[in-house]
Structure 1
Amino acid sequence: MKGMDNKSVGAGDRPGQGGTGFSKKGFILAAIGSSVGLGNMWKFPYITGENGGAAFFLLFIICLVVVGLPILLAEMTIGRGGRSNASASLFNLTNKKHWKWFGLISIVTAFLIMSYYGVVAGWTMHYMIQSFSGALSDVNMDYAAAFLGFAGGYMPLFWSAVVMAITGFVIAKGVSSGIEKFNKILIPGFLILLLILMVRALTLPGAMEGAEFFLKPDFSKLNEESVLIALGHSFFSLSLGMGCMLTYGSYVQKDQSLGKASLAIAGGDLLYAFVAGLVIFPTVFAYGMEPSSGVGLAFIALPAAFAQMPLGFLFGGLFFLLLAIAALTSAVSILEVPVAYAMEQWKWSRKKTAIILASFAFLLGVPSALSVEGTSGPLSNLLIFGKTIFDLFDFSTSYILMPIGGLIITLFTGYAWKRAGEEAGLTGGIYRTWMFLLRYVCPLLIILIFLYSVGVLDFGTD
């Protein structure tokens, strides 16, 4: 970090951290790396296309400003003010033990997410190797059967172990030498790959139909459900409610503007998701594929499209390399949350903590890896509350624990901690607006997101 070393030394040191904190640039890149995950790479383009294209995109920006940015700033402010893990920071700022227990929710959430997120991240690495090797280049292949066969076998365990090993290694190197350096290399590389794939996608015959699907405003498709989908994604896309931004905030320099950093992180997250849409939909439409959400789009429709493309093995490999980078940068931020807690709680070394928690996260993820719905996996028919183990972990963390974690952050910053504005560097009207959003608007909207996610609010037509 030439030219920044003298500024960053000691900036994020905490007892037992054994290293410096983030430089100013390094913090923003690491936070963008945390927010740009697998969901953003295919979920955001899909929900945008299904909810009015550019009309939904504008709605999403509004929701990002109203919900995402205030909570993002709150998380980072708590982290820097508390100078500790996601649990202890809340206690340090109030000296009230019940906030420490509330803070543990985000730590548990992050660890649970890491267990199954590593499985999906492993899928991207497997498909990257398969694409570069040409194994996915057969236009006559049944790509749905190929994916289900892979996801229902035992190979995902190997790739999940690889993901955990890489993630643990980066975290073991420390904040400055590991996490920051990792993101400084991968995030610019991520953008370069994204732009290369965007140019390739937009120059395909028939690509403009896909671009129009993604970008043409259709306000008739916007409804109450669209608003809640946009609100939910503005919350989830920034990795809020699971302690990532709070933990990263605890390593930030005291003279860094958190307000400007919040804008840069949200802007970077938005840019990456937007460009991803210009990669995915032109490619899907150019080869007559039906756009679909989640796993089907990334691991079935797109490989089939790349198989028909000149040099498809190369562009397919680059696409899954892109997904792997997005997965790994997010995985590092997710695992760092429980690592920071365990280091301070039990006085373990960073290396020991990273190895132990990465190993336990892998073991906890084994049932998820073997229970993917629709496969012939050993645990795929085992249902708990009507869901496979994989889906249960995903649902309980994404739709229950993360909103609860976000609600805790808004209530803590809005009501319990009296010096939030001072730490955030906000005064006057901007501070009053921030407080108004955190005290009244964000809690209400988070509750609505929660009720919609769990099915209490239903906008189905009769």
Structure 2
Amino acid sequence: MKSQQELQISSKKTDRFSSAGFILAAIGSSVGLGNMWKFPYITGQYGGAAFFLLFIVCLLAIGLPVLLAELAIGRYGRGSASTSFVKAGGGKVWARFGLLQVLAPLMILSFYVIVSGWTLNYAVLAFTGKLFKNQDFSGQFTGFTGGYMNVVWQIIAVVFTGWVVAKGVSKGIERFNKIAIPGLVVLLVILMIRSVTLPGAGAGVSFFLNPDFSKLTPESALVALGHAFFSLSLGMGILITYGAYVDKRQSLGTATLAIGAGDLIYALIAGLIIFPTTFSFGIDQAQGPSLVFVALPAAFSAMPFGTIFGGLFFVLLAIAALTSAVSLLEVPVSFAMERWKWTRTKSVVVISLLVLIIGVPSAVSFGMVPGLTDLGGKSFFDWMDFIASNILLPLGGLTTTIFAGYYWKHAAEAAGLKSGWFKVWLFMLRYVAPVLVVLVLLHTSGIIKF
């Protein structure tokens, strides 16, 4: 008889997503916090709807081809983000390149769960009314992030994420996303309706939907491409890992379009929440995290039923954060189960502890440990974000495009595309995507500037 450990390890081969569950989980990985605080800033800076149209072009021309390649590699290889390249027919050297797509989500998760903890804390504060009792929202945020409760909520976010992943693919990740994503859609619609009906909201809607092509520059094209890449969770190993759990009967082309549509609709509705609200209350969109945790609470406190809408907003953010966190954790957990033959439970516990250990310096770099707040002009938190987002992710994406475009003999079979579409897909992977990914890497790392 097989031991319990052997049974749990072998279950990875049979624990699969359903068709709908896979698409919801993949959309959950792309529905994160970036579209709520980064997307409004870059959209406003680069021409409103003009930038949004450019973002759509990047999503269709580059994002979706790379997304399809990652899913195809994962399903064909049926391994972790590292070994799927080898199992799909590559040499052992590809496992080393694939390892980048295990390290990147591990590093991202170490600071992402910190922000996830912020959203959970603010959801509780908003619904209890404590958030709005003190109108010094900047002081509240600074005091929270610089104190020990920041670490406490980081731990809560890690524990919840680990609990979902420990339950497995179908009973954990899929079941969570089947509840979370529909709930997120409902919250998005409610908040969008509230935002566009605020006094003066029309100016924000007009700014977002009326293009200003004069602000488009070569830099804006790379920014749009970088955001499309990040928002689809490319180069993180997530889609390769999820692809390993997809049934062979699932059309990857259809799934790719559905995931891309989900990401695009989320970005659109996020814009229709943020821009009307910020214009209505005279808020500058270019504030990053402080937009969400300082400026918007002030706006909610000034609107009728603001406590309710503020609470719903932070619940929305918490759902978006946790669906992405679950996807990020599954990547190194899948690798640990395969590499060291650990059970899923052991893998989740060990990786979660590692995430906390790596993440604590980031959590205390907001003032608790002054030496970590300014390391060459960036905090420890910012350096982790910079290395993962601007270096590891583009390198991971480049690995996928080169492997699928030039090396992989089974690309046509794995992608399941008809001859005409396969030629278009292969052309994008060979001649367009690698060049643009390299340009994004050089731009985000500061090597080239416009």
Is TM (by shorter chain) over 0.5? Answer: yes
Matched, 1:93 2:88: yes
Within the candidate set 51, 56, 60, 2:51 is matched to: 56
Q: Which residue of 2 aligns with 1:451?
A: 442
User: Partner amino acid for 1:255?
Assistant: R
Q: Which residue of 1 aligns with 2:321?
A: 327
Q: Which residue of 2 aligns with 1:288?
A: 282
Structure 2 counterparts to residues 338-377 of structure 1, below 5 A:
338-372=332-366, 376-377=367-368
User: Partner amino acid for 1:135?
Assistant: K
Within the candidate set 68, 71, 74, 2:63 is matched to: 68
Q: Which residue of 1 aligns with 2:380?
A: 389
In the superposition, the TM-score normalised over structure 2's length comes to: 0.96
Distance 1:251 1:379, change over 3 A: farther
Q: Which runs of 5+ in 2 are unaligned?
A: 1-7
- The 8 Å contact of residues 26 and 259 in structure 2, kept in 1 or not, is answered as yes
Distance apart, 1:379 and its partner CA: 4.0
Structure 2 counterparts to residues 99-138 of structure 1, below 5 A:
99-138=94-133
Q: Deviations over 1:23-54 (max 9, x none)?
A: 00000000000001011222123212221111
Which is further off, 230-239 or 350-359?
Answer: 350-359
Q: Which residue of 1 aligns with 2:4?
A: none
User: Partner amino acid for 1:427?
Assistant: K
CA separation in 2, counterparts of 1:46 and 1:458? 19
CA separation in 2, counterparts of 1:446 and 1:33? 24
Within the candidate set 146, 154, 165, 1:160 is matched to: 154
CA separation in 1, counterparts of 2:397 and 2:187? 32
Distance apart, 1:159 and its partner CA: 0.6
Within the candidate set 281, 299, 305, 1:305 is matched to: 299
CA separation in 2, counterparts of 1:96 and 1:228? 32
Q: Which residue of 1 aligns with 2:15?
A: 20
CA separation in 1, counterparts of 2:235 and 2:429? 14
Distance apart, 1:95 and its partner CA: 4.8
Matched, 1:441 2:432: yes
Q: Which residue of 2 aligns with 1:46?
A: 41
CA separation in 2, counterparts of 1:46 and 1:211? 15
Distance apart, 1:353 and its partner CA: 1.0
Within the candidate set 161, 166, 175, 2:169 is matched to: 175
Q: Which residue of 2 aligns with 1:145?
A: 139
Q: Which residue of 2 aligns with 1:410?
A: 401
Q: Which residue of 2 aligns with 1:220?
A: 214
In the superposition, the TM-score normalised over structure 1's length comes to: 0.93
CA separation in 2, counterparts of 1:95 and 1:106? 16
Q: Which residue of 2 aligns with 1:7?
A: none
Distance apart, 1:385 and its partner CA: 4.1
User: Partner amino acid for 1:77?
Assistant: A
User: Partner amino acid for 1:327?
Assistant: A
Q: Deviations over 1:263-315 (max 9, x none)?
A: 00000011011101111111122122222232121111101100101111110
- The 8 Å contact of residues 22 and 246 in structure 2, kept in 1 or not, is answered as yes
Matched, 1:264 2:255: no
Taking only the aligned residue pairs, the percentage that are identical comes to 56
CA separation in 2, counterparts of 1:301 and 1:211? 19
- The 8 Å contact of residues 31 and 320 in structure 2, kept in 1 or not, is answered as yes
Distance 1:222 1:54, change over 3 A: same
User: Partner amino acid for 1:68?
Assistant: G
CA separation in 2, counterparts of 1:195 and 1:389? 36
- The 8 Å contact of residues 16 and 349 in structure 1, kept in 2 or not, is answered as no
Q: Which residue of 1 aligns with 2:5?
A: none
User: Partner amino acid for 2:389?
Assistant: S
CA separation in 2, counterparts of 1:172 and 1:315? 33
- CA root-mean-square deviation: 1.4
User: Partner amino acid for 2:294?
Assistant: I
- The 8 Å contact of residues 26 and 242 in structure 2, kept in 1 or not, is answered as yes
Q: Give the length in aligned residue pairs.
A: 443
CA separation in 2, counterparts of 1:421 and 1:57? 32
- The 8 Å contact of residues 47 and 213 in structure 2, kept in 1 or not, is answered as yes
Q: Which residue of 1 aligns with 2:229?
A: 235
- The 8 Å contact of residues 51 and 226 in structure 1, kept in 2 or not, is answered as yes
Distance 1:142 1:109, change over 3 A: same
Q: Deviations over 1:386-422 (max 9, x none)?
A: 4211011000000000000000000010111111111
Q: Deviations over 1:358-407 (max 9, x none)?
A: 122112110000113xxx32145554444211011000000000000000
Q: Which residue of 2 aligns with 1:4?
A: none
SS at match of 1:86: coil
Q: Which residue of 2 aligns with 1:9?
A: none
User: Partner amino acid for 1:431?
Assistant: F
User: Partner amino acid for 2:272?
Assistant: L
User: Partner amino acid for 1:177?
Assistant: K
Within the candidate set 324, 331, 338, 1:337 is matched to: 331
- The 8 Å contact of residues 16 and 343 in structure 1, kept in 2 or not, is answered as no
Within the candidate set 209, 215, 218, 2:203 is matched to: 209
Q: Which runs of 5+ in 1 are unaligned?
A: 1-12
CA separation in 2, counterparts of 1:419 and 1:81? 9
CA separation in 2, counterparts of 1:396 and 1:268? 27
CA separation in 2, counterparts of 1:439 and 1:15? 36
Distance 1:143 1:106, change over 3 A: same
Q: Which residue of 1 aligns with 2:24?
A: 29
